Amino acid sequence: MLKSKKIFSFAISIFIMISIITGCGTQEVNDAAQKSTTNKVELLVSAAASLTDVAKDLTELYKKEKPNINIKFTLGSSGTLATQIEEGAPSDVFISAALKQMKTLEEKGLLLEGSKKDLLVNKVVLISPKDSNIKLTQFQDAASDKVSKIALGEPDSVPAGQYAKEAFTTLGIWDKVKSKAVFGNDVRQVLTWVENGDVDCGVVYKTDAISSEKIKVSCEAPKDSHKPVIYPVAVIKNSKNQEEAGKFIDFLTTAQAADVFKKYGFEIK
């Protein structure tokens, strides 16, 4: 009888130990699952409108590498995005279509020191509707009687408009072009106007032209008629996710990302 009681007590002890161990294991699993959930990060990327097409591919590609990172792009004119960042709009990463807007943020101390990099290169082209009968072979044709209305980005806030103004000014025809220009809020609006035949022609990036089957490219802006079209990227100093933002920029410089950029017509800096 005594022996039976000892066996019973031993069995109870074993049961209690297993319960404790199992309970701890379950708790560890639950803790790991909770940690995985709480580690999810939404990374806010403010990017030039000309990156609209490439943004989706980059997001999907990065999601495969970093499942816990949710990339959210805000696309628009670089000038508008820079102003929003200056005014305190939340943003972790800024990709501009020109050095000007990035330099402004840098001078105001709004970029994380050492995070800025030159990422991409683009070209500026003159385009017209695909079914247009107007023959344009050079940028100078924009000032001719062939063109009654031309679409441009707003030079003060849209880099594509800035480059267009520089090119037409270098060619000595800015005043003539300006008199028949309609100005868009970003380069994609300019592209849409040309696609719809609302204007005779417009100035966009090479990458925008590649993305559309409704337009034709007349010519590139003459060499040295405008500043190089360089896309810089940087981490915003007030970002709450500086480490993740830096890793995303590192990803943008990988061979994988380069293949995506090249697919849409960008050149790697």
Known binding-site positions for molybdate: 50, 78, 160, 187, 205
Q: How far apart are CA 109 and CA 130, in angstroms?
A: 45
Q: Where are the alpha helices (DSSP H) in 200-254?
A: 206-210, 242-252
- The answer to whether 81 touches 95, Cβ cutoff 8 Å, is no
Structure tokens given for 21: 């161990």
Three-class secondary structure of residue 244 per DSSP: helix
Q: How far apart are CA 201 and CA 134, in angstroms?
A: 9
Task: Pick out the residues of the known binding site.
Answer: 50, 78, 160, 187, 205
Three-class secondary structure of residue 158 per DSSP: coil
**Strands in 130-169 per DSSP E:** 150-153
Structure tokens given for 56: 């989706």
Q: Which residues of 48-61 are buried (b: 16+ CB within 10 A; e: fewer)?
A: bbbbbbbbeebbeb
